[in-house]
């Protein structure tokens, strides 16, 4: 069985993420979207909120499931029995960074292969970090995030979002 983990922070989920996920569905029998908890990053949205968004977006796609994990991505792969890691690439410098991580992961577990998908050109500038910056300064992010995310943003107390 071809089981993949698509790890990331997804803080927030963007159309760029959805592009990679949707185009990867035919490639795998099961795709886990891994919400990574990184102690060096302070997320804008809770991991549970991000899982909720993904569950809502993909409620009609039985191949997709979300997991929250902390620690090494390869350890999460072992736990969910994934033999592939899916990564999205926007620019050449993304590839250089991602290849270094893929090489490290391969060194840690030679049975886990990393698969790269390039995003559609219209999503190359869509990054969660940039979306959070636009939000912090009160900008409109509706062209970058799905409706379920936008709904949460519009209902959120700005003091909570920007603490």
Q: 160 in a domain, yes or no? A: no
Q: Which of 21, 23, 94 is nearest to 53 (CA)?
A: 21
């959805």: which residue's tokens?
A: 18
Q: Which domain holds residue 37?
A: 3-155
Determine contact, residues 67/102, Cβ cutoff 8 Å: no
Q: 133 in a domain, yes or no? A: yes
Q: What is the pLDDT of residues 80-92, one digit of tens each?
A: 999 999 999 998 8
Q: 87 in a domain, yes or no? A: yes
Q: 161 in a domain, yes or no? A: no
Q: 163 in a domain, yes or no? A: no
Residue 152 CA from chain centroid, whole number: 18
Does this model's pTM top 0.85? My answer is yes
Q: What was the pLDDT predicted at 16?
A: 96
Q: 162 in a domain, yes or no? A: no
Q: 8 in a domain, yes or no? A: yes
Q: 26 in a domain, yes or no? A: yes
Active site residue 90: yes
% residues pLDDT > 90 (the chain): 80
Catalytic residue of the set 41, 79, 136, 151: 41
Q: What is the CATH number of the domain that holds 8?
A: 3.40.50.620
Please state, in angstroms and rounded to a whole number, the distance separating the CA atoms of residues 73 and 30. 17
Domain count for the chain, please give it.
1
User: What's the mean pLDDT when you consider all of the chain?
Assistant: 93
Q: Is the pLDDT of residue 162 over 50?
A: no
Active site residue 52: no
Q: Which residues are annotated as a binding site?
A: 9-10, 17, 41, 73, 87-90, 98, 123-129
Q: What is the pLDDT of residues 19-69, one digit of tens each?
A: 999 999 999 999 999 999 987 878 999 999 999 999 999 999 999 999 999
Q: What is the pLDDT of residues 106-123, one digit of tens each?
A: 999 999 999 999 999 999
Q: Is the pLDDT of residue 9 over 90?
A: yes
Q: What is the pLDDT of residues 117-160, one digit of tens each?
A: 999 999 988 899 999 999 988 889 999 999 999 999 988 755 44
Catalytic residue of the set 24, 50, 66, 128: 128
DSSP conformation letters of 121-161: GGGTT--HHHHHHHHHTT---TTTS-HHHHHHHHHS-HHHH
């Amino acid at each position: 069985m071809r089981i993949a983990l698509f790890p990331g922070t997804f803080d927030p989920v963007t159309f760029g993420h959805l592009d990679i996920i949707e185009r990867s569905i035919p490639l795998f029998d099961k795709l886990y979207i891994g919400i990574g908890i990184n102690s060096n990053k302070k997320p804008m949205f809770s991991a549970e909120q991000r899982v909720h968004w993904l569950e809502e977006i993909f409620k009609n796609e039985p191949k997709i499931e979300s997991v929250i994990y902390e620690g090494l991505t390869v350890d999460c792969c072992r736990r969910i029995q994934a033999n592939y890691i899916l990564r999205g690439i926007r620019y050449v410098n993304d590839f250089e960074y991602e290849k270094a991580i893929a090489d490290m992961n391969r060194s840690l577990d030679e049975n886990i292969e990393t698969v790269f998908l390039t995003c559609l050109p219209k999503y190359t500038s869509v990054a969660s970090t940039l979306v959070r910056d636009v939000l912090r300064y009160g900008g409109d992010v509706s062209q970058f995030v799905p409706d379920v995310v936008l709904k949460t943003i519009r209902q959120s107390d700005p003091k909570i979002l920007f603490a």
